[in-house]
Every structure is written in C-alpha cells, then in structure tokens.
A and B are shown apart, each in its own frame.
Chain A
C-alpha cells in the first residue's frame, strides 16, 4: 500500500503494452459513465456480469438498466438476489439469507420449474440451463478483479462456478472493474494471496478457477476501469488506512456474533460485517454513524482476518471519531454524561442504588415502560435485590470473621 501510486502507474503501463485499455474513475458516477460509454460504443444490449462487489458499490445495474441494457448477474447467489430485486447480504455468499424453498418458489415463477421444488441440485441445474442461454446471448462480459499485478499488467479473477470465464471468453468485449487497492507487486505474491483468500473465504485449498488475464483475447477488446471512490481518502487516514488491505474473504463476518444474529441486510451497506462497518463511515460518517456502535468489541474478527487488519480497534477508533464529529445522537450522549457523573461519585452511586431499590419496585408501569425506555419495549426489568453487592459482601465478610 505504501507504494500504491508507483504500482498503479506500472500496472497501467504494462497492461497497455499487452493491448488493454486502462480507465480511471474518481467516483461511482464516473465509473458508471465509463462502463456505459464502452457498452454504447460497442452497441451492447446484453451484458453478463460475474461477481463484482465494486459495481454493486457503484449501483451500476440500475444505471445501465435505465439506459436500456439488460444486465445479468451470473454468480448463482447474485443472480438469485437480482431476481428478487434485493441486495447481496454477504460478500462471498450473497444469497445466504434465502432458504431453498424460497429459491424453489422463485424459480417456479421465473423459470417454470416444478412447484414446491427445494432440492439444491435440481434448482442449481435449472439455473445452469437458464444462465447458459444468457452467456450465449451476451454481447459483453464484465468482471471484478481479485488481484492486479503491477509487474505484468495482468489481473486475477477467482470463482468457483466458472461464470467469469464463460462470461468473458465468448463475447468480444471484456470490461474489468477494480478498486485501486487491489494491486500487488509481482505474480509470485499470488502464491500467498490465492491461498489466503480461498482458505479464509470457504475453507478450500484454492478457489476452483483462478484465472489470470493478460491482455485481450485475439480479436477481442479488454478494458480495465480503476476506481477510487473514497479509497484515496481512506489511505490518507492515519487510523483507517489498513482497512484497504482487505481481500474481501468474508471471514470477519462469518465469525462476528452481531452479523450472525442480524444478517447482512441490516447494515444497509454493500459490504456488511466488521469490515463494512469500518469502510461505510469512511464514506459517510453521518449516515453510517451507528454501525461501529453495533460491535461488541469481542475481537473475534481481528483474530480471523488473514491480512491482519486490527478490525475491532478500528471500530473503537471510529466511535471516538464519530463522537468528535458530533454524530452521536442525544439519546446516547445525555445518559452517558449522567452515568459518568454518577460513577465518578461513589456516594451518589450508593445513594442512587439505595433509592432505586426502594422506589422502583413500587413504581407504576407507565413510568418504567414508556418511550424514554426503548430497552423495555420487549423486555421486563429483573426483580430488584434487597441489598447491594457491597452490602451483601460486607455482611458475608462479617459472618465469616465471626465463624473463624
């Protein structure tokens, strides 16, 4: 990362030498315009895409559809999500939130498969046949990029389904979209990276297809779009620049207790989970100000991350940052201040405890369970003990002294 500018220049030079065209996009809008421009110039009506979280981040699909281009996501999971008009809920398994019965229903409506079918093999077969026709009919293929190699000007795309290769080996136009952080210096580094990615993502020793593209196919064109979209800002940040090392393996979300309970959609961002909660506020701290607070700081993500991003520390740092920028809402700051005042004065704390124990059990319900207490919406307060821990401890000490 500390040589990123040189690596990008070197990549551009070498890729161009191999016959590819390199484009640069500052943000999502520019990226979408470049892709659309290419498709328009080549008179493309039907585009097949393979997994690309970047185009998801840029909201490319709706943009192209508005211009009358048919876009098909060919990764089975992404296609399911697309057919349901949803967003992916996981970066490696986009459709992890859909049950097989729901897939059966969906295919019954869209593909005319048997009603009530839920056998994954049968359903995957139906999808295979439907998507084959899409591959055959496509005028262009678009892929993401897992790693780009500065020294050779090539890039690597990893899939298990073989969809990226089918998508770009048939039509005459291949567009590859990548964030600028995907650079690695030399091809030999792939030996390590491919191993890390597959192991941490799915536990395989290597992804089934790791395809290395160097220049266009004879008689075809290859365009590479390098996208910044907030990444250079992130690089400038002292605290968060390491999050750019992310290889999007998904291990941190698989292990995250909060992600596992709430699922990917609740984050409202393209990349969910721990890493998503760091990347999203970097783009818009106000809109995503609550994400870093959802974390329990258990640190499990930091343990599993194959590229050693200190995820939970960065989440904690974001909390401070968001507080400094003033995006923490009053219902959090006011009680926090009160609590701080209370905890700083032991006598007050003891007094408050005594009063609460005496008074709260006698309070009418409307005073305890009202809009000021969202916690109580689905929960009941536990029964109050008669004495505090301190009192109980003192009593125990005394009685044991007497006993000895």
Chain B
C-alpha cells in the first residue's frame, strides 16, 4: 500500500463522531472609524499611514521621508508615483531586484483590526518586491478599508494559482534577547497611503 493510502486508512480507522463546523456568522469586531483605527494599529506595529485625496499628492509626501530622498534605486507599480528608476516589467530574473532601495506598490484591502494590507502578484510580475525592497510604500483605496479579517476574506478568492499576503508593518525580529529590531530580512520601513480618489 502506498504511504498515502496507509496514512488515510489510519486516519479513517480512528475517526470518531464528527463535530459540525462552527459558524463564522457572528458579530465580529467593528469600529466607528475604521480608517482611524487602521492608522493607529499600523503605527503600533512600526508602520505609518498617510491619507491623501489623490495619487498626485503621494510624491510630495514621499519627499518628506529621508529613506525616499536618499534612495538611488527606485521602482513603482503605481502610475505617476514614486519616481521610478527601474521598470519592473523589463526585468526577468527576480534576483536582479536585490538592490531596490524603495518600492511603491499596490495593496488591495486594508484591515482596521490589525493594520494589515492584502497584496497579491496579480498585476505584479515579481512578488519578491514586497519583501526584497529596503523600503516599501503601499497604495490602497480608502474605500477598501474593512473592519476585520472576516470581511477581508469574504472579498478574497483563491481559484487561480496566485500568491497573496497580509502584510502588517515592516519586517521585524526579536530573536536577539527579545529586543525588537525593525528591518529583519524584508523592508526596514513601511508606509501605507490611503487614497480617497476613486478614479
């Protein structure tokens, strides 16, 4: 018998009375002002949230950040934003993205509960960008802010082969004597722009 069948058989033999699946229809956490809550939580996990009325304001805000000013290699997936020096689509081997200092990328959903933003590789050729850039800015529509994870999952579908992740703040570690250090392997800083303009 193959290992697969052995394992499945062993499991079936020990199967006890089935427990019904619990329902997720509950009154989950909601906030009076989800945007404000998102901003506070994101700050508590080491990120920063800036609300702008349209994408044209983003560069102006970015200029205020020294990590953007001093970045020599920049890339962007948002039209007209982030003063890119590298075009993502012209690169074939993701290893070549090693030296990206600053990346401006899109996020789909922002979750107030935990400050996380859902990102995917649907329109992005190299998903490694979310993790390899020294500094990261995500651009999300203000209307995509949801209260909690349950609302977020209701919007997600996983039918086609795809990568997606909830990212909440910059990368971090507390592995050296439990002192928190921001910037473990991934980005050292994390800014989320909430854009009011729908166009």
Candidates B114, B128, B159, B181; contact of A121 at CB < 8 Å: B181
Closest Cβ–Cβ distance, residue B53 to chain A (whole Å)? 28
Residue interface bits B121-142, CB-to-A below 8 A is 1, else 0: 1000011101110000000000
* Contact segment of B60-68, B78-86, B168-176: B168-176
Q: Indicate if A213 sits at the interface (CB-CB under 8 A).
A: yes
Q: Indicate if B17 sits at the interface (CB-CB under 8 A).
A: yes
For the side of the interface on B, what is the size category? 35 or more
Residues of A within 8 A of B152 (CB): 191
Contact check, B18 vs A3: say whether CB atoms are below 8 A apart.
yes
Contact check, B130 vs A120: say whether CB atoms are below 8 A apart.
no
* Contact segment of B6-14, B69-77, B102-110, B191-199: B6-14
Contact check, A120 vs B177: say whether CB atoms are below 8 A apart.
yes
Q: Indicate if A24 sits at the interface (CB-CB under 8 A).
A: yes
Q: What residue of chain A has the Cβ atom nearest to residue B165's Cβ?
A: A211
Q: Indicate if A212 sits at the interface (CB-CB under 8 A).
A: yes
Complex Cα distance, B7 from A77, in Å, reads 33
Complex Cα distance, B26 from A397, in Å, reads 60
Candidates A125, A205, A213; contact of B115 at CB < 8 Å: A205
Closest Cβ–Cβ distance, residue A381 to chain B (whole Å)? 40
Candidates A99, A124, A154, A206; contact of B158 at CB < 8 Å: A154
**Contact flag A160-B172 (CB < 8 Å), given A132-B185, A194-B166:** yes
Contact check, A163 vs B115: say whether CB atoms are below 8 A apart.
no
Complex Cα distance, B13 from A228, in Å, reads 15
Complex Cα distance, B127 from A391, in Å, reads 78
Q: Indicate if A404 sits at the interface (CB-CB under 8 A).
A: no
Complex Cα distance, B160 from A338, in Å, reads 68
Q: Indicate if B58 sits at the interface (CB-CB under 8 A).
A: no
Contact check, A131 vs B161: say whether CB atoms are below 8 A apart.
no
Contact check, B176 vs A162: say whether CB atoms are below 8 A apart.
no
**Contact flag A209-B165 (CB < 8 Å), given A24-B2, A180-B11, A188-B154:** yes
Residue interface bits A226-256, CB-to-B below 8 A is 1, else 0: 1010001101110001000000000000000
Contact check, B15 vs A5: say whether CB atoms are below 8 A apart.
yes
Closest Cβ–Cβ distance, residue A124 to chain B (whole Å)? 4
Residue interface bits A1-37, CB-to-B below 8 A is 1, else 0: 1111100110000000011000011100010000000
Residues of A within 8 A of B39 (CB): none
Q: What residue of chain B has the Cβ atom nearest to residue A50's Cβ?
A: B185
Residues of A within 8 A of B95 (CB): 136, 170
Q: What residue of chain A has the Cβ atom nearest to residue B97's Cβ?
A: A170
Candidates A76, A211, A228; contact of B184 at CB < 8 Å: A76
Closest Cβ–Cβ distance, residue B133 to chain A (whole Å)? 10
Q: What residue of chain B has the Cβ atom nearest to residue A153's Cβ?
A: B158
Question: Which positions 151-166 of chain A face chain B at CB distance < 8 Å?
Answer: 152, 154, 160-163, 165-166
Complex Cα distance, B7 from A26, in Å, reads 7
Q: Indicate if B90 sits at the interface (CB-CB under 8 A).
A: no
Q: Indicate if A294 sits at the interface (CB-CB under 8 A).
A: no
For the side of the interface on A, what is the size category? 35 or more
Q: What residue of chain A has the Cβ atom nearest to residue B26's Cβ?
A: A192
Residues of B within 8 A of A161 (CB): 171-173, 184-186
Residues of B within 8 A of A233 (CB): 10
Q: What residue of chain A has the Cβ atom nearest to residue B13's Cβ?
A: A236
**Contact flag A165-B130 (CB < 8 Å), given A205-B41, A209-B165, A212-B165:** yes
Candidates A2, A76, A165, A205; contact of B113 at CB < 8 Å: A205
Contact check, B162 vs A5: say whether CB atoms are below 8 A apart.
no
Contact check, B41 vs A170: say whether CB atoms are below 8 A apart.
no
Residues of B within 8 A of A120 (CB): 176-177, 179, 181
Q: What residue of chain B has the Cβ atom nearest to residue A2's Cβ?
A: B18
Complex Cα distance, B99 from A79, in Å, reads 23
**Contact flag A205-B185 (CB < 8 Å), given A24-B3, A76-B173:** no
Residue interface bits A169-197, CB-to-B below 8 A is 1, else 0: 11000000000100001011111101100
Q: Can you name 30 A-B pairs with beta carbons within 8 Å?
A: A2-B15, A2-B18, A5-B8, A5-B12, A26-B6, A76-B173, A77-B175, A98-B176, A120-B181, A128-B183, A136-B98, A160-B172, A162-B171, A162-B184, A163-B184, A165-B128, A165-B165, A195-B149, A204-B114, A205-B168, A206-B166, A208-B170, A212-B164, A213-B163, A214-B158, A215-B161, A217-B121, A228-B7, A232-B10, A241-B16
**Contact flag A24-B162 (CB < 8 Å), given A120-B176, A169-B94:** no
**Contact flag A169-B127 (CB < 8 Å), given A128-B184, A191-B152:** yes
Q: What residue of chain A has the Cβ atom nearest to residue B47's Cβ?
A: A208
Closest Cβ–Cβ distance, residue B144 to chain A (whole Å)? 17
Complex Cα distance, B161 from A47, in Å, reads 24
Contact check, A192 vs B177: say whether CB atoms are below 8 A apart.
no
Q: Indicate if A207 sits at the interface (CB-CB under 8 A).
A: yes
Residue interface bits A261-278, CB-to-B below 8 A is 1, else 0: 000000000000000000
Q: Indicate if A42 sits at the interface (CB-CB under 8 A).
A: no
Q: Indicate if B178 sits at the interface (CB-CB under 8 A).
A: yes
Q: What residue of chain B has the Cβ atom nearest to residue A9's Cβ?
A: B8
Contact check, B16 vs A2: say whether CB atoms are below 8 A apart.
yes
Contact check, B173 vs A226: say whether CB atoms are below 8 A apart.
no
